[in-house]
Each structure stands twice: as C-alpha cells, then as structure tokens.
Structure 1
Amino acid sequence: MSVAQPVVISGVTDSGMRYANLWDAEFKGLGAPGPYCMASMTTGRALMLSIDSACPTPWIDIALRMFDTFRRGDLPTPTHTVEWKFSRPIFSPVAAPASSDEAALFDMEGTD
C-alpha cells in the first residue's frame, strides 16, 4: 500500500449532494493492485464519514481534517479529478493555478 500521498477528489453531484473521497491509487489488496477508496464523506439524509480499516494511520488524520472542512459546508481541495471507465476510476491530477506575471513583478520590486 502506498502511504505517500492520497488522491483526494471532491465535488457536488447533479442532485446537489456534496462528496469527498480519499483514495489509494495503487492499493495492493488480495486481488490485483488497483485504486481503493480509503475514506469517503457525503451529504444526503445525513452527513456521513466512513474510514476503511485498511486506511493508513497518517491518512486518518487527513480524512478527519477533510471532514472538518466538509462539515463547515466547504469542499476539501481536490488533488485529482476522476473519470470512470468500465467501473474503474481513472485519476488525473488537478492543474496547479498558473502564477500571474503581476505576482512575479511584485516579487521583484525592491530587490537590488
């Protein structure tokens, strides 16, 4: 199991339900290695948090911090987007925000 960094996805469904998931993209379970959802949170009839028993201990803290954000009504910042193909998730990294030229110029002001 990879414990370096989880894959975080979050969003809102067409019906208005908010969700956030924490995935291990390379989980090695009993079957073939593949993505595995370690923690999930959703809204609906109740505010739900589920953490799988296979979740690495450091990721439990991440899931709990994500749930604090989720309970406030915000979505945790996603690291990836997900597309489903043949009932399997395919993750793509979220592009980092582009730095503006103005910020670069501001950083240069006052330097000799």
Structure 2
Amino acid sequence: MILKKMRDIDLAGKKHNLISGDFSLYMILSYVAILNIIDSFATYIGVTKKLIEEANPIMNQLFSIHPLLFVTIKILLSIALFLLLLYRYFPKTIIFHFLAYLSATLYTFVFFCHLIWITA
C-alpha cells in the first residue's frame, strides 16, 4: 500500500504512475526544455564573446538578426514544451518517444560541450 502511494504522483491535477512510460516521457521532455533554456544563455554568452559559434544554421540566422531574438525564441520554445506537458498534449507514438530521447541525448552532448568551453 505504501509502495503504491510512493509510485503515484499528482502532476497538473492528474495522477501519474512513476513507473509508467507517461511519467518518464514527461521527465525527459522537461529535461529537454530545461537544457534548451541553459543552452540559450550559454550560447548567447559564448557567441557574443566569440568563444564559440552557433552550429544550427536557423538559430545562427536568428542570432545574426539580433541575439535577443535568438534567446527569446529558444525560451518560447521551452515554454511551449512545458505547456504541452502541462496539458499532456503530446503524441504517445514510438517515434515521438524516440525523438524525445534523441533530443535529450543531443542536448546533453551540447550541454557538456558548453561546460568544456566554459571551464577551459
């Protein structure tokens, strides 16, 4: 009984089971949104100080228009992802799960790249 209560969590007024794929997808997408925000500020600092270059051509174009536009778009994308999670409005297909995990993996790599240039 206690174990069952410990597994269940209330997110946005809906019960979730910690073991279910729904919760793990929620956590992965939250992780991606948070890393996206960290990436926006780290990239802003790195590019403005000419320590790194933006590798994504679309984001590089936004940055060249105005750095604040770049940061704003990245933060808005994270907010949009959080809103999708809040309202549980995301596909539950295998492809979506794969893309979520792929995004998390790639953002983790980018995060460590930022750590390397920041600490160098």
Same fold at TM > 0.5: no
Task: Give the helix-richer structure, 1 or 2.
Answer: 2
Q: TM-score, normalising length from structure 2? A: 0.27
Question: Which fold has the larger relative contact order, with Cα–Cα distance below 8 Å and residues 6 or more apart in sequence?
Answer: 2
Q: TM-score, normalised by structure 1?
A: 0.29
More strand by share: 1
